[in-house]
């Protein structure tokens, strides 16, 4: 048992603090996304939006959460109890797990017990970073499918099928557009993808088409309008969470907002330089204000970029009407996949030409 | 008994236990879900052996895509009825004998191997990393690799042809 105790406990403590803080930040951001969504909708429709609970209605998300907690919890009689509870858990779990490989800022430096410690603001810098995100996202389908099936309701089941086939279909162009990006970066590590963009051009300048495809797929993966067919409440009943009530429904809805936040973070990291502060050489700034302040500023810059993306999600939601299901499938399979294949081939050609000239 | 040993035995127990549950579950939905747990355990083994790429691809392809298709089929044709087709006495006996023979062969084959009694060799080899695997696939094994991709393409074309009928 000696070796078991030889773990770097400080390291585990650091990671634990990081995990807890990132999860609480995502929860708070998801909470205020619901508020922001209603405010943005209100601005776009020339209304006021929620303004009763607290100044400017900023306590509205708390009130909503309280309402969901207090509601009666109904589990349908014939449904499979265990799977019925597992569905929302899976949705929430997969939404949370993705944040593990995203770099949120540079390194923090401090001295503890006379020893220098550098802590990078990333939970796990694994060398398959972006594939890990893909793996977790593909697990997200199970939350939808298990929940829809365990409800024992044919409308839930059909909606779960709709949702799952949409998510699977749009994973393909997403992966293909990512392959083109990986040809440029030459690494799957999130930290080196972001590091390559710091103090240099952002990847979006090399991969505008790839970014556009990725953006569209991210909308579809998060089940956001124009692709929110799994829960088209006014045309197609309600969706896979039709039988859910109380906080279980809240988990499904909340997971969508966390997904929105995380997918914005992924897009920022992959295409928009991650935590890099634009127009400023980060290394020079570090000499002037120190590494800890730089990390804070970088985190702030990351969150501003993410906020812009989240606003874009809402902007699109209140601007573009929903697609029909066959249009959605046609867009995915007949437009986005050929486009991303084209993008991939062009990128491969350019990379080869740059490396070997015309004699490859 | 260090951390990697504990992890190894935990993952092995998880893999074997959930694989047994795949076989003995009454509802096919539970079988599929246990199979997903098995894939997770196997991916854990891959990651312990420094094959992160293989591990995550195992999850993306098998647990993320193929098992979803299984679930689709099972949910849509509604196999949830617990009524299992009763198998005859002789069929059960034959199954037991066949399974026992397989067990015997496996035990005989693995009895004298040198890995017997060894835990996982953590972090040895790098063939499961994406660089090494890519190089091996596209230089040494390029012909089998391309042939298998043609096989997949033909399966896809076949599915489209059948679907068009």
Nearest-angstrom CA–CA distance, B38 and B22: 9
Which chain A residues touch B129 with a CB distance below 8 Å? 127
What 3 state SS string does A275-314 have?
Answer: CCCCCCCHHHHHHHHCHHHHHHHHHHHHHHHHHHHHHHHH
* Rounded alpha-carbon distances, angstroms, from residue B69 to A79, A83, A178, B13: 22, 18, 24, 27
CA B100 to chain A, closest CA, distance in angstroms equals 34
Which chain B residues touch A139 with a CB distance below 8 Å? 59, 63-64
Residue B143 has pLDDT above 90, yes or no: yes
Q: What separation, in Å, do the N-terminal and C-terminal C-alpha atoms of chain A show?
A: 57
CA B19 to chain A, closest CA, distance in angstroms equals 19
pLDDT of A159:
84
- Write out pLDDT tens, residues B40-79: 999 998 888 888 888 888 888 888 888 888 888 888 776 5
Which neighbouring-strand residues pair with A119?
A108
Q: What percent of chain B has pLDDT over 90?
A: 28
Q: What separation, in Å, do the N-terminal and C-terminal C-alpha atoms of chain B show?
A: 60
Q: Which of B33, B53, B72 sits opposite A128 (nearest CB)?
A: B53
> Hey, where are the domains in chain A?
2-359
H helices, E strands: number in chain B: 7, 0
Residue A3 has pLDDT above 60, yes or no: no
Of the pLDDT bands very low, low, confident and very high (cuts 50, 70, 90), residue B161 is very high
Q: What is the CATH number of domain B3-80+90-126?
A: 1.20.120.1200
- Write out pLDDT tens, residues A164-200: 888 888 988 998 999 999 888 888 888 888 888 887 7
- Write out pLDDT tens, residues B26-41: 888 888 889 999 999 9
| Helix (H/G/I), strand (E/B), else coil: A96 | helix
- Write out pLDDT tens, residues A272-326: 988 888 888 777 777 788 788 888 888 899 999 999 999 999 999 888 888 888 8
Burial class (CB in 10 A: 0-12, 13-18, 19+), A9: exposed
pLDDT of B80:
56
Which positions 5-64 of B are in contact with A (Cβ < 8 Å)? 6, 29, 33, 36, 52-53, 56-57, 59-60, 63-64
Residue B7 has pLDDT above 80, yes or no: yes
Q: Is the ipTM of this complex over 0.95?
A: no
CA A132 to chain B, closest CA, distance in angstroms equals 7
Which neighbouring-strand residues pair with A107?
A120
Residue A5 has pLDDT above 60, yes or no: no
Question: Chain-wide mean pLDDT for chain B?
Answer: 84
Q: Are A168 and A250 in contact (CB under 8 A)?
A: no
pLDDT of B98:
94
Which chain A residues touch B6 with a CB distance below 8 Å? 4
């Amino acid at each position: 048992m000696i070796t078991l105790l030889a773990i770097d406990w400080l390291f585990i403590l650091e990671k634990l603090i990081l995990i807890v803080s990132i999860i609480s930040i995502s929860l708070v951001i998801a909470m205020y996304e619901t508020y922001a969504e209603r405010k943005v909708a209100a601005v776009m429709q020339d209304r006021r939006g929620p303004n009763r609970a607290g100044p400017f209605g900023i306590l509205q998300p708390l009130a909503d959460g309280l309402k969901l907690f207090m509601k009666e919890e109904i589990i349908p009689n014939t449904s499979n109890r265990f799977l019925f509870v597992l569905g929302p858990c899976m949705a929430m779990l997969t939404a949370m797990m993705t944040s593990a490989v995203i770099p949120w800022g540079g390194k923090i430096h401090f001295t503890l017990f006379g020893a220098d410690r550098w802590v990078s603001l990333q939970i796990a810098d694994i060398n398959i970073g972006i594939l890990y995100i893909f793996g977790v996202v593909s697990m997200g389908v199970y939350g939808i499918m298990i929940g829809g099936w365990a409800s024992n309701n044919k409308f839930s089941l059909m909606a779960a099928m709709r949702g799952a086939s949409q998510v699977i279909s749009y994973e393909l162009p997403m992966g293909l557009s990512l392959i083109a990006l990986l040809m440029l970066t030459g690494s799957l590590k999130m930290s080196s993808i972001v590091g390559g963009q710091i103090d240099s051009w952002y990847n979006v300048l090399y991969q505008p088409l790839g970014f556009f495809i990725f953006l569209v797929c991210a909308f579809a993966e998060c089940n956001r309008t124009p692709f929110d067919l799994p829960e088209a409440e006014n045309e197609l009943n309600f969706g896979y969470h039709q039988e859910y009530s109380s906080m279980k429904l809240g988990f499904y809805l909340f997971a969508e907002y966390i997904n929105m936040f995380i997918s914005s973070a992924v897009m920022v990291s992959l295409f928009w330089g991650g935590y890099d502060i634009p127009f400023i050489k980060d290394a020079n700034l570090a000499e002037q204000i120190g590494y800890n302040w730089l990390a804070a500023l970088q985190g702030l810059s990351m969150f501003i970029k993410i906020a812009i993306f989240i606003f874009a999600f809402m902007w699109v939601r209140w601007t573009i009407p929903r697609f029909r299901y066959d249009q959605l499938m046609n867009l995915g399979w007949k437009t986005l996949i050929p486009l991303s294949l084209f993008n991939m081939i062009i990128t491969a050609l350019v990379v080869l030409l740059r490396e070997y000239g015309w004699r490859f | 008994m260090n951390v990697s040993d504990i992890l190894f035995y935990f993952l092995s127990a998880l893999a074997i236990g959930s694989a047994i549950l795949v076989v003995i579950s009454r509802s096919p939905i539970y079988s599929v879900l246990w199979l997903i747990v098995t894939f997770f355990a196997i991916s854990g083994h891959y990651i312990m052996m420094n094959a992160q790429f293989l591990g995550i691809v195992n999850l993306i392809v098998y647990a993320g895509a193929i098992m979803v298709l299984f679930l689709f089929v099972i949910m849509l044709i509604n196999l949830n009825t617990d009524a299992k087709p009763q198998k005859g006495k002789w069929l059960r006996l034959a199954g037991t004998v066949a399974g026992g023979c397989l067990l015997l062969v496996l035990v005989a084959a693995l009895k004298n191997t040198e890995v017997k009694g060894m835990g996982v060799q953590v972090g040895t080899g790098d063939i499961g990393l994406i660089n090494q695997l890519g190089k091996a696939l596209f230089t040494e094994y390029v012909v089998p690799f391309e042939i298998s991709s043609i096989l997949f393409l033909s399966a896809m074309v076949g599915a489209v042809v059948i679907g068009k009928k």
